[in-house]
């Protein structure tokens, strides 16, 4: 059991990330789903989205204070920008994403 816990401790946390649509999710969901994005950065993402409209590219996220290229690269597979991206999810997850 100790060996298992030791191995899990060495795994990067992004392995457990959940895809999230940053144009629809609230700050709490964004911070829980993405690596290196805490509540303050997630709130900044939501605020930027309210002021400037939906994100059209991942690169546009760099306009948000505290979000840089490394953060985007660490999360690029888990950041969804539109509904079409949800087609990549298994059917039960698409239903959850639509709610």
7 within domain boundaries: no
37 within domain boundaries: yes
d(CA 1, CA 92): 32
89 within domain boundaries: yes
d(CA 96, CA 52): 26
61 within domain boundaries: yes
1 within domain boundaries: no
87 within domain boundaries: yes
d(CA 21, CA 98): 11
Q: What is the mean pLDDT of the chain?
A: 80
- Are the C-beta atoms of residues 31 and 41 closer than 8 Å to each other? yes
Check which CATH number belongs to the domain holding 49 and give it.
1.10.150.280
Q: What is the pLDDT of residues 22-49, one digit of tens each?
A: 999 999 999 999 999 999 999 999 999 9
38 within domain boundaries: yes
d(CA 49, CA 72): 16
8 within domain boundaries: no
Residue 55 belongs to domain spanning: 18-98
Q: What's the number of domains the chain is made of? A: 1
The mean per-residue pLDDT over the stretch 46-65 comes to 96
């Amino acid at each position: 059991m100790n060996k298992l816990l030791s191995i899990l401790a060495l795994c990067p946390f992004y392995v457990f990330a959940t895809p999230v649509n940053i144009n629809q999710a609230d700050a709490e969901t964004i911070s829980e789903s993405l690596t290196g994005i805490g509540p303050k950065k997630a709130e900044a993402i939501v605020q930027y989205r309210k002021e400037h409209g939906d994100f059209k590219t991942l690169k546009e996220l760099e306009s948000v204070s505290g979000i840089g290229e490394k953060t985007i690269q660490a999360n690029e597979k888990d950041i969804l920008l539109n509904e079409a991206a949800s087609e990549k999810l298994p059917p039960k997850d698409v239903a959850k994403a639509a709610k």
